[in-house]
Amino acid sequence: MVNTLRRELTLRQAKVLKAVEDFILGHGYAPTIRQLGSALGIPSPSAVLKHLQSLERKGYITREGGDIRVAGLPALLEGQVRVPMAGLVPAGGPRESFDVSGEAMDVPGWMVGRRRGNVFCIRVDGKSMIDAYIDDGDHVLLERTNLANSGEMVVALLEDGSVTLKRLRRTNGQIFLVPENPAFQPIEAPSARILGRVIGVMRKY
């Protein structure tokens, strides 16, 4: 049974707790032990686990099914955040449609975290990303950025002015926008400009 009476933390434990909180606020979900170790510069998973067990004994976190929950943090993540809608974006062939609709959508605050004011939402038109669990009609949340790593899903502006939602791939100095559906072909896009990076998907069943 976890001791709910909080005891004083060591400097290392306080650093681990802050890293967990920062990760949850930034990503909307708890880190794995390896992700936490990477953030802290601790290569040993067993060492990270020992710090988490200490935090749990002192009542600062709970762990259920591998998920880490910080005591008191869920209340900070509750509620809705209004995110601007940016119109339809094709997940099929590129299309000249990226209008700012003037509308907004309410999304859970935990999905946005500390990115508030830097997130927008699109509605997907097409099935080229279906194997990445992004379907026609889904609402996708994106962080505004012009930088993305190879492998991340992005909305990109092509040289002809059209936009598309695809996975960014850099291979041997070449840039491709790759669909997640074998029925579609990758787009070679050396001059593509990144408009946003996917951070979440919302769907109504």
Q: Name 17's Cβ contacts closer than 8 Å, sequence gap at least 6.
A: 9, 55, 60, 61, 70
Cα distance from N-terminal residue to C-terminal residue, the chain: 38
Average pLDDT (23-27) is: 72
In this structure, are 170 and 84 located in the same domain? yes
Task: Give the model's pLDDT for residue 3.
Answer: 42
Catalytic residue among 54, 166, 191, 204: 166
* Residue 50 bears catalytic tag: no
- Among 29, 61, 76, which residue terminates a domain? 76
Burial 70-106 (b: 16+ CB within 10 A, else e): bbebeeebeeebebebbbbbbbbebeeebeeeeeebe
Task: Give the model's pLDDT for residue 151.
Answer: 92
In this structure, are 99 and 186 located in the same domain? yes
In this structure, are 95 and 164 located in the same domain? yes
118 — pLDDT class (breaks 50, 70, 90): confident
- Among 23, 47, 76, which residue terminates a domain? 76
Q: Per residue in 61-111, pLDDT tens?
A: 888 766 788 876 654 445 677 788 887 777 777 765 555 556 777 777 777
* Residue 128 bears catalytic tag: yes
Rounded to whole angstroms, the Cα distance separating 154 from 199 reads 9
Catalytic residue among 54, 58, 127, 128: 128
127 — pLDDT class (breaks 50, 70, 90): very high
Specify the DSSP class assigned to residue 46.
H
- Among 76, 97, 121, which residue terminates a domain? 76
Number of domains in the chain: 2
Percentage of residues in the chain having pLDDT higher than 70: 82
CATH number at residue 182: 2.10.109.10
